[in-house]
Chains A and B, each alone.
Chain A
Amino acid sequence: MTQQHTFDVVIVGAGGAGLRAALESSRRGRTAVITKLYPTRSHTGAAQGGMCAALANVEEDNWEWHTFDTIKGGDYLVDQDAAEVMCREAIEAVYDLEHMGMPFNRTPDGKIDQRRFGGHTHHHGAGAVRRSCFAADRTGHMILQTLFQQNVKQGTTFFDEYYVLDLLRAPDDGRAAGVVAYELATGELHVFRAKSVVFCTGGYGKMFKITSNAHALTGDGPGVCYRRGVPMEDMEFFQFHPTGLYRLGVLLSEAARGEGGILRNSDGEAFMERYAPTIKDLAPRDMVSRAIYTEIREGRGAGPDGDYVYLDVSHLDPKVIDAKLPDITEFARTYLGVEPKKEGVPIVPTAHYAMGGIPTTVDAQVVGDAANTVIPGLFAAGECACVSVHGANRLGTNSLLDIVVFGKRAGVNAGEHAATVDHAELGEDPAGAVTRMLEDLAGHAEGERAAAIRLDLQVNMDDKAGVYRTETLLKEMEVELASLRERYARVWVQDTSRRYNTDLLEAVELGFLLDLAEALVVSARARTESRGGHFREDHPVRDDKNWLKHSLASRGDSGVKLDYKPVTMTRYEPMERKY
């Protein structure tokens, strides 16, 4: 049985972006938030370090410097108009959160405290600046809680543990008409008609093995849109964060280095001084991650296999560690049995953040082609979207900022759009495609489990599409993906029950990961330059003449099709990225 619901706005996802959007759109129209996790389980809660805004509470700062840092940090692939919007609105966004009850750390005079973070500088790169607003090392947790609390206050309608598996587009003009969702508790499908659909489903780091991302981050939103004809922008740009716990990938925030932590190799040398003499350990993440791998490759890695380096905070005042870095030092104790107050913590780069995703305008409207043609009624915000404010490499603290600034814009615009249009017609049998997909997946009585296929995907992506890439590796990965797809077509879902069938959903999620991995690899192979998070050993320099442009990957009948669109420039001329 398929149930039908009708709303003005449907928001898919209840992390920071979705919850911020919901606060706006539910004031403007009947809104449903559909989320596969209970809202407070969303991965925004894992964010540690902070959220940047040029409040200038502790030292001179202004949002123009923040804009410059964002563009330079993104290796000039950032749309400059979008970065201006984000950095200007950052200030109000932080105050909004504070007014909602966000418990920021405070300065002695009671203002919001701020600390240093990678790539954030004063006077266009002259030195590090204290710009990151934070709540100990659980800033994301506090943002998620605060936004959830406000939604409780406002009485937002949630559909918890519903998985959106399809986007409905009007048969005539392709505008958004609604979504199809699978209810975990019953195994039933629900069709949600809506005038505006907002995707806020977060990242897709689970295509890698060593990752800071949660199990749930499987790219469902981008996956659904991609299958329904929306191109994916800049998929080759994936951020590898320098400091993941050895073997596990659990993140140790850059806040550790912002507070004075230092990276050391097996000789105890503070090696970042050689790679970024000015800002050293606070250089942008892509540079630090490569530096770590270079140390390891050149034989200066630590441990029996020489395959990690140390994050050292042992010289910091223990009181600072307890007050400002309590959670991440506990991770080191719990998962590695290491005492950070006394010894270095073994770390390796970890797959962390998707710069690419669903292409949008600064008003969070999804665009469907290289000419930026808006798809009416379709919106996206947060990590699943690509505005693009992060370009080729996101600066730390700019994602929490992105989700609240563009989450708000998405909510406002989705609500206003809904007030001006009627519901689009649904095609015939709107849930048909999902029904068939689920029947196909559940249709094998034996074979290989999704977990085995996923593990092979992850291990191969780490090796072939990670920090260092080459034509040969990427080509191998394309071949590997073709075979993974064949295996996936025969996947065995062992749980045959209807209720709470997470086995089936893991298989569904793997399908999205495979599609997005393919878009990533094909985009990466085509881009014969190195820029930000995309580093090609066979093309190690940035090539503005040929590649200062965004990639758009679409699904064609014969594989992935690539197209390109220009980067929006306002006043910042590309220059070499030195720190």
Chain B
Amino acid sequence: MQVKLRVRRFNPETDSESRIETYDVPADPMDRVLDLLHWVKWNVDGSLTFRRSCAHGICGSDAMLINGTNRLACKVLVREVGDQITVEPLRGLPVNKDLLVDMEPFFASYREVLPYLVNDDPAPDTERRQSQADRERFDDTTKCILCAACTTSCPVFWADDEYFGPAAIVNAHRFIFDSRDQGAAQRLTVLNDKEGVWRCRTTFNCTDACPRGIKVTQAIQEVKRALLFRKV
């Protein structure tokens, strides 16, 4: 089959504004959108720029806007999106070139929520024990691959780039609900901040966008509840 692939392009060295370019790409229904982008890059225009590495939805490099929703290009097959495909960079982050955006604001928010285990007790000789139920409690949010699909689908984030965004809250959740962690109080104080969880309007865009199937909105709600009751 032939796919009409429309790509929003921007070269910082020559363009003042972005533009849409259209390519006719030979494709198989089982091809990934990433395969189509590669086909263009390798056969038509080598300057088409995007990030990718693993090509199977694990590394989080290639989140982009595909037919209007945030997806990983390597995890969407042509048969799911049809023969008219529009690909654009993620919204809400500065575009550096074509589909490649500046991820630094995203990682800056991530770093702020203390995204690491806090436990100052001396470590035992073997493992810290954790029940299966306690381990299950935060299982969902350990799946995050930091692709930014959730955060850049959030209308609050588009309007206010100071907002932490869902991904940072997901990563706070991952530790707040880990029975081994002692940093919840500190993290909750950060998240209680004016740009913290309270800005969330529960639009569920983030949950729909997550390529890992994380229940993002639910995680945010759980963090809000923890804040209200200050216990986890």
**The 5 nearest A-B residue pairs measured at CB:** A101-B117, A494-B46, A451-B42, A110-B129, A495-B47
Segment among B82-90, B138-146, B185-193, B215-223 that sits at the interface with chain A: B138-146
Q: Mark A87-111, 1 if CB is under 8 A from B, else 0.
A: 0000000110011110111111111
Question: How many A-B contacts are there with CB distance less than 8 Å?
Answer: 152
Q: Mark B20-56, 1 if CB is under 8 A from A, else 0.
A: 0000000000101000001001110111011111111
Give Cα A105–Cα B132 distance, bound, in whole angstroms.
Answer: 7
Give Cα A145–Cα B143 distance, bound, in whole angstroms.
Answer: 10
Chain B positions within 8 Å of A336 at CB level: 30
Give Cα A103–Cα B180 distance, bound, in whole angstroms.
Answer: 10
Interface-central residue, A152, A215, A451, by most chain B CB under 10 Å: A215
Chain B positions within 8 Å of A501 at CB level: 47
B residues near A (Cβ < 8 Å) are: 11-14, 30, 32, 38, 41-43, 45-47, 49-61, 75, 77, 96-97, 100, 103, 107, 111, 114-117, 119, 123, 125-132, 135, 138-139, 142-146, 175, 178, 180-181
Among candidates B30, B142, B145, residue contacting A103 with C-beta atoms closer than 8 Å: B142
Assuming the contacts A142-B142, A149-B117, asked whether A101 and B53 have C-beta atoms less than 8 A apart, the reply is no
Among candidates B38, B53, B56, B97, residue contacting A41 with C-beta atoms closer than 8 Å: B53
Chain A contact residues, majority secondary structure: loop
A210: Cβ under 8 A from any B Cβ: no
Chain B positions within 8 Å of A434 at CB level: none
Assuming the contacts A101-B181, A451-B42, asked whether A499 and B13 have C-beta atoms less than 8 A apart, the reply is yes
Chain A positions within 8 Å of B100 at CB level: 500
Assuming the contacts A101-B181, A149-B116, A250-B56, asked whether A497 and B13 have C-beta atoms less than 8 A apart, the reply is yes
Q: Is B142 in contact with A43, judged by CB distance below 8 angstroms?
A: no
Chain B positions within 8 Å of A104 at CB level: 127, 135
Among candidates A38, A142, A334, residue contacting B75 with C-beta atoms closer than 8 Å: A334
Assuming the contacts A43-B54, A150-B116, A214-B53, asked whether A503 and B47 have C-beta atoms less than 8 A apart, the reply is yes
- A40's nearest neighbour on chain B, judged by CB, is B146
Assuming the contacts A98-B127, A103-B135, A503-B41, asked whether A216 and B117 have C-beta atoms less than 8 A apart, the reply is no
A residues near B (Cβ < 8 Å) are: 37-38, 40-43, 45-46, 55, 94-95, 98-101, 103-112, 135-136, 138, 141-142, 145, 149-150, 152-153, 185, 214-216, 248, 250, 327, 331, 334-337, 449, 451-452, 493-503
- A149's nearest neighbour on chain B, judged by CB, is B116
Assuming the contacts A40-B146, A103-B135, asked whether A152 and B116 have C-beta atoms less than 8 A apart, the reply is yes
Among candidates A46, A105, A107, A110, residue contacting B56 with C-beta atoms closer than 8 Å: A46
Among candidates B12, B58, B103, residue contacting A45 with C-beta atoms closer than 8 Å: B58
Chain A positions within 8 Å of B117 at CB level: 100-101, 149
Chain B positions within 8 Å of A38 at CB level: 61, 103, 107
Interface-central residue, A111, A141, A248, A498, by most chain B CB under 10 Å: A141
Q: Is A106 in contact with B96, judged by CB distance below 8 angstroms?
A: no
Chain B positions within 8 Å of A138 at CB level: 142-143
Would you give the shortest CB distance from B113 to chain A, in whole angstroms?
10
Interface-central residue, A37, A112, A334, A496, by most chain B CB under 10 Å: A334
Chain A positions within 8 Å of B41 at CB level: 451, 503
Chain B positions within 8 Å of A110 at CB level: 129-132
Would you give the shortest CB distance from A116 to chain B, in whole angstroms?
19
Q: Is A149 in contact with B115, judged by CB distance below 8 angstroms?
A: yes
Chain B positions within 8 Å of A250 at CB level: 55-56
Chain A positions within 8 Å of B116 at CB level: 100-101, 149-150, 152-153
Would you give the shortest CB distance from B27 to chain A, in whole angstroms?
15
Give Cα A142–Cα B178 distance, bound, in whole angstroms.
Answer: 14
Q: Is B129 in contact with A40, judged by CB distance below 8 angstroms?
A: no
Chain A positions within 8 Å of B146 at CB level: 40
Would you give the shortest CB distance from A45 to chain B, in whole angstroms?
6
Give Cα A496–Cα B13 distance, bound, in whole angstroms.
Answer: 11
Chain A positions within 8 Å of B43 at CB level: 449, 451
Q: Is B145 in contact with A108, judged by CB distance below 8 angstroms?
A: no
- B103's nearest neighbour on chain A, judged by CB, is A38
Q: Is B129 in contact with A109, judged by CB distance below 8 angstroms?
A: yes
Assuming the contacts A41-B61, A99-B128, asked whether A497 and B47 have C-beta atoms less than 8 A apart, the reply is yes
17 CB < 8 A contacts A-B: A40-B59, A41-B53, A41-B59, A41-B60, A95-B126, A98-B127, A99-B127, A108-B132, A110-B130, A111-B126, A145-B142, A153-B114, A335-B56, A337-B30, A451-B43, A493-B46, A503-B41
Among candidates B13, B96, B131, residue contacting A185 with C-beta atoms closer than 8 Å: B96
Q: Is A214 in contact with B143, judged by CB distance below 8 angstroms?
A: no
Q: Is B178 in contact with A498, judged by CB distance below 8 angstroms?
A: no
Q: Is A215 in contact with B55, judged by CB distance below 8 angstroms?
A: yes
Give Cα A110–Cα B132 distance, bound, in whole angstroms.
Answer: 6
Among candidates A142, A214, A493, residue contacting B54 with C-beta atoms closer than 8 Å: A214
Give Cα A331–Cα B42 distance, bound, in whole angstroms.
Answer: 26
Q: Is A503 in contact with B46, judged by CB distance below 8 angstroms?
A: yes
Would you give the shortest CB distance from A562 to chain B, in whole angstroms?
33
Chain A positions within 8 Å of B178 at CB level: 101, 103
Q: Is B59 in contact with A105, judged by CB distance below 8 angstroms?
A: no
Q: Is A499 in contact with B53, judged by CB distance below 8 angstroms?
A: no
Among candidates A37, A98, A185, residue contacting B61 with C-beta atoms closer than 8 Å: A37
Give Cα A190–Cα B47 distance, bound, in whole angstroms.
Answer: 23
Chain A positions within 8 Å of B103 at CB level: 38
Give Cα A292–Cα B19 distance, bound, in whole angstroms.
Answer: 50
Q: Is B115 in contact with A106, judged by CB distance below 8 angstroms?
A: no
Q: Is A216 in contact with B53, judged by CB distance below 8 angstroms?
A: yes
- B123's nearest neighbour on chain A, judged by CB, is A99
Chain B positions within 8 Å of A496 at CB level: 47
- B50's nearest neighbour on chain A, judged by CB, is A502
Interface-central residue, B11, B43, B55, by most chain A CB under 10 Å: B55
Would you give the shortest CB distance from A231 to chain B, in whole angstroms?
29
Assuming the contacts A214-B53, A215-B52, asked whether A95 and B58 have C-beta atoms less than 8 A apart, the reply is no
Chain B positions within 8 Å of A42 at CB level: 59
Given A250-B55, A250-B56: 12 more A-B contacts, CB < 8 Å: A37-B59, A41-B59, A98-B127, A104-B127, A106-B135, A112-B127, A149-B116, A214-B55, A494-B46, A497-B11, A499-B12, A500-B96
